[in-house]
Amino acid sequence: MRTLRRADALVMAGLVAPAQRTAIEAVAARYAVALTPAVLALIDPADPADPIARQYVPDPRERDSAPDERADPIGDQAHSPIKGVVHRYPDRVLLTPLLHCPVYCRFCFRREAVGGAAVALTDHELDAALDYIRDHDAIWEVVVTGGDPLMLPAKRLARLVRALDAIPHLGAIRFHSRVPVSDPTRVTAARVAALASSDKAVWLAVHCNHPRELSAAARAACRRLVSAGIPLLGQTVLLKGVNDDPAVMEALLRALVANRIKPYYLHHLDRAPGTARFRTSIAAGQAILRRLRGRVSGLCQPTYVLDIPGGFGKAPIGPVYLDDAGTVEDWQGARHVCPDDA
């Protein structure tokens, strides 16, 4: 089975109604489409509300943009001093060596950029990006993202890790990837060895939004990474119709921790064009986390964050348990006086 990229293939797979073929072709002409065999195996075509299909199968509504949606919803471009680098915070940068992914999430905040013609930095562009990092000794962490950096060939990935490892002022290298859940066969021994070759701390953040995405193959891929000494973090986007239910979120967070993936961020959805059908309110996200407080271990608790539109960075937006009157709410909803020793 091959990765599905065209409307005709989606129709043949029973994922798109024949009457929608033309509309889906129009969506695919603007936004990249790809569903790997690993993802296809998780989808129930008979379920019109399947949470896996909802994340990956294109929808005609993607062509409808709301006035408050932005092509660059988190303001990357305003903080990009050189191609491939986003420098928003003093001590860390994003490095995007390529804008190609194994699958294309229908809610992606970089959907206007990923999967296009210029999918990878040239050798010259990558060298220039690395020189920028070398020249700014306040940078302590590099977050390698994209696109998906685990789409890089193993040798190119190894060269990138070695180059970052050789920069003295770096303390941590973090990769962000959907590959372990969406295309786990790419987590090869060579790619794992490339990630593990650094003397610096290398972390991998795994993007996973639903417990069913942690298939047997995905779990095996994560074990290979952990066994090589690479600690795993979990990144999740709050999505209407996918995980905006306390029971689903609880199952997901437990499954992540059970597979040695520490939940890190729960992202409020960025306002990318054509993504309104995935949007929940911040209050709904806070209610889910409030429901989980005390029900799941502290290991399972992510930080709920909003990337402030316009490029102003992330802000934690989780529920607040201490009020101005000096009372604090416990996990069962009761309030208690909390003396302020200051």
The residues assigned a catalytic role are 88-89, 92, 101, 105, 108, 110, 270, 307, 314
Coil, strand or helix at 297: coil
Through-space distance between the first and last CA atoms of the chain, rounded to whole angstroms: 64
Burial class (CB in 10 A: 0-12, 13-18, 19+), 77: exposed
Cα–Cα distance for residue pair 280/58, rounded to 1 Å: 19
Pair 167, 137: CB distance under 8 Å: no
- Single-letter residue type at 87: H
Pair 223, 233: CB distance under 8 Å: no
Q: Got the DSSP string for 10-75?
A: HHHTTSS-GGGHHHHHHHHHHS---B-HHHHTT--TT-TT-HHHHHHS--GGGG---TT--SSTT-
Cα–Cα distance for residue pair 301/292, rounded to 1 Å: 8
Q: Got the DSSP string for 154-182?
A: HHHHHHHHHHHHT-TT--EEEEEESHHHH
**Residue 311, by phi and psi: left (phi above 0), alpha (psi -120 to 50) or beta?**
left
Token pair of 151 as six digits = 């789409």
